[in-house]
Structure formats: structure tokens, C-alpha cells
Amino acid sequence: MPRKVQSQSRFIPYARGFRAPSKKVKQKALIGHGECSSHISKEFADGEHFESVQKCQSIDDWLANVKENGQTYAQFINNCPWLSTRKWRKVNMKFVPSGETIHEKYPDGKIYIIPVGDLTTGLNNNLCILDVDDIIEYCQIFLGLPVVTLPAVSLVRNNGKVLWLEDKVGSRKKRQTTSVVLPSRYDKRSNHYQLHVAAVLEKLRKSLPDDAICLLGLTMYDLYEDDADLFVAGMAAGNHRVGLFSLFRYNPRLAFSKEYWYDITEIDSILKIPHNELMLQRGCKLVVHEICHLLGIDHCIFYLCCMNGSGHLEEDFRQPMFLCPIDLRKLHQLCGFDIIQRYEQLRGFFGKHHMEKECLWLERRLDFLRKG
């Protein structure tokens, strides 16, 4: 007699007080103050191309732990400092109050990305190919804003310590390289390092160019904040327009212990994981998610969307690359791109990097938008 098999699916409730939004709530979230829903352009119609937020699959899922309120389009327009008719106090660049988009208000503004250490090195100096130029290209298409890379910060590992090297002009105008020890932790047996996220973020704040809308540091170093942390994905200081995020745990050839921060194993490369593409895809999604936060867009609760919060890596990996209609409308208002042209360019990017699922979605969406 076969034994009765217990159902694998365990009900995991949302965080207390959170309710998945109804269709009506989603429709209201798309509308600005004093607008009528019939005036919303087809480009923001959901057209059944966007899925609703899902039930929690793990107790660590974001919505099982955080009672997110969600940010409507109207709330974003009201609160986004980049859309205010007053210049952002902390920004030191030309400001045009009558401008409608961020580019019209701050014509010199740019998004900066700075590699912190070498981005092509993974665990134990094994190569992990990630071309920062691909990430820049993706951000530029996704945001419709100029995205610029700053020269990489030089980090050196030395005897269990990590040094930040800086070129300075010393006495008699001679260039000198100075080094600063970064707060970090090191496990000798595994030869694994983690950098203290807040300490590096503080140093990045000092590198913020005057014409920066924001500066995002990317590193292949693993990060932590408190001694009890396994790791942290990164940290942002929205008020200071700076963030630092790690790509280390996005490497599909690594497996991580849930108990010890330094316990990391390399998965046999015979597994034929197209790791460069996965790495690029995960990196692109992270970077635009974090930049959208720095631009004032909060976590999304309305649809499956690349602005959903994530409580752990698996949840992060299963989230889509695209913005839902509500967040697309926010970004469009802020950046003023042509939506069809942007989708076509994204189609070109995903095609070039063999991301077929994304290409198929874009083709369906473009078909829908071009009809009528």
C-alpha cells in the first residue's frame, strides 16, 4: 500500500496587515490626481501581460515579512524630489524649474556607476566574466538617461586585509599612491573576504561628482553589515544619492551555506550553466532596481515587477526584468523616453545576450501596443 504523501505546499501567509491588491486597487494606483482612467494611454494598459503578486513560497519571502503599502503613481508624482519645482538642496548643478522630466530639470545630470575592485574576479580569483559596459548599455536603455562609468576603485587583498588604493598628488606635485585599510572580515580556511558595507559606502560618498543624479558602486566582493550577518546584498543612502551593491552571490557557479558566511562551494563547471548570461541578467536587474529606488520609486506590490522587494536570492532570481504599468508610468514621467522605442531597444539587448524568455515577452507586448 502506498503511504499517504503529505502535500508539499504549505500555506505561508503574507505579513500581518498586507493584502494582495485587487484589480480595482491596481487601476486606481495607475491614475494621477484629477485624472480619469479613460485618459490613460494604451502604453500603460496591462493587456494581461503582467502577472499579479504571487502567494508566498517561503517564510523568508519579502511579503511574508514586510507589510509594504505600495506607492501609487500619484504618490510618486507628489513625493519625488526630482520632479519638484524646487531644486534639490543637496544638488550642485544647473536647474531648470519649468522642466518636466529629470533631464529637462537637470540637463547636466548623469547616472554614475563605479566598479569597486575588479568586477571580473569571483571566488579565489577565478574568472567570472561580467562586462560593466553591458550593464551600462542596459541601464541607458532602461532609464533613458545618460549613464557613465567612473574609473574602478583599486582594492588589494593582503594578509587577510583589504586595502583601498588612492592616487593623490603629494608634495612637489608628485603623484603618490596611498592605501587605506577597509573594515572587513576574513576566513583563512576558505580564503573568503567580506567588506563592511557601510564603511565602503561612506568612502563612495566622497567620490560623488557634482553632476551626479546618483552614484552606484558595484563590487564582486561579498558584503556584511553586522557580525551576525551571513551577507548583505548592499546598502543605499538615498539622501546622499549613493549606493553600493555586491554581485558576488549572483554567480551561478557558487553555492552558499545558510549557516556560515564563509562557507561557499564552487559547483562543478560541467553543469553547463550559461553563467555569463545569468550573471549579466541578475546584475542588470539589480542595478536598475537600485537606481529606480534612488530616483524615488518604492517597492512594488501591484504586479510581478522588477521593483518587487526580495527577501532572499531565490526570490530575487525569479522576479521579472520588466516594470509593471504603474512603475513604467512613474519612470516614463521622470525620464520621458519613447515607450515603444525603449521596448525595441530592450528587445535588441536581450536578443544579443540570448535571453529568449525576455525577447518573447517583449514581442508580445510590442504586438499589443502596435495594434491600433
Chosen residue from 307, 346, 355, 362 binding Zn ion by CB under 5 A:
307
Which range touches Zn ion (CB under 5 A), out of 6-14, 150-158, 161-169, 324-332?
A: 324-332
What DSSP string describes 190-206?
TTEEEEEHHHHHHHHHT
Size of the site for Zn ion (CB under 5 A): 5
Least spacing, CB of residue 138 vs Zn ion, in Å: 18
Beta carbon nearer to Zn ion, 128 or 290? 290
Beta carbon nearer to Zn ion, 232 or 307? 307
Residue 324 is a binding residue for Zn ion (CB under 5 A): yes
- Torsion-angle region of 257 (φ positive above 0: left; ψ -120 to 50: alpha; else: beta): beta
Residue 61 is a binding residue for Zn ion (CB under 5 A): no
- Cβ atoms 224, 185 nearer than 8 A: yes
Residue 288 is a binding residue for Zn ion (CB under 5 A): no
Helix (H, G, I), strand (E, B) or coil at 84: coil
CA-to-CA distance for 126 and 276, rounded, in angstroms?
13
- Cβ atoms 354, 277 nearer than 8 A: yes
Chosen residue from 327, 329, 337, 359 binding Zn ion by CB under 5 A:
327
From the number of C-beta atoms within 10 Å of its C-beta (0-12, 13-18, 19+), residue 9 rates as exposed
Residue 305 is a binding residue for Zn ion (CB under 5 A): yes
At residue 246, φ and ψ (nearest 5 deg) are -105, 140
Strand order in the sheet with 242-246: 147-149, 110-116, 212-219, 242-246, 234-237
- Cβ atoms 168, 176 nearer than 8 A: yes
Least spacing, CB of residue 367 vs Zn ion, in Å: 22
Residue 114 is a binding residue for Zn ion (CB under 5 A): no
Beta carbon nearer to Zn ion, 162 or 236? 236
Residue 293's identity, in one-letter code, is H
- Cβ atoms 238, 261 nearer than 8 A: no
Which range touches Zn ion (CB under 5 A), out of 87-95, 145-153, 302-310, 311-319?
A: 302-310
Least spacing, CB of residue 44 vs Zn ion, in Å: 11
Tell me which H or E stretch contains 161: strand 161-169
CA-to-CA distance for 45 and 30, rounded, in angstroms?
9
Options 48, 68, 290, 344, the catalytic residue? 290
Nearest residue to 130 (alpha-carbon basis) of 279, 282, 272, 254: 279
Beta carbon nearer to Zn ion, 312 or 354? 312
Which range touches Zn ion (CB under 5 A), out of 159-167, 168-176, 218-226, 319-327?
A: 319-327
290 is catalytic: yes
- Cβ atoms 111, 139 nearer than 8 A: yes
Beta carbon nearer to Zn ion, 204 or 300? 300
Residue 235 is a binding residue for Zn ion (CB under 5 A): no
DSSP state of 295: T
Beta carbon nearer to Zn ion, 305 or 359? 305
Which range touches Zn ion (CB under 5 A), out of 63-71, 276-284, 306-314, 338-346?
A: 306-314
Per the DSSP assignment, residues forming a β-bridge with 244 are 217, 235
Residue 300 is a binding residue for Zn ion (CB under 5 A): yes
Site residues for Zn ion per CB under 5 A: 300, 305, 307, 324, 327
Known catalytic residues? 290
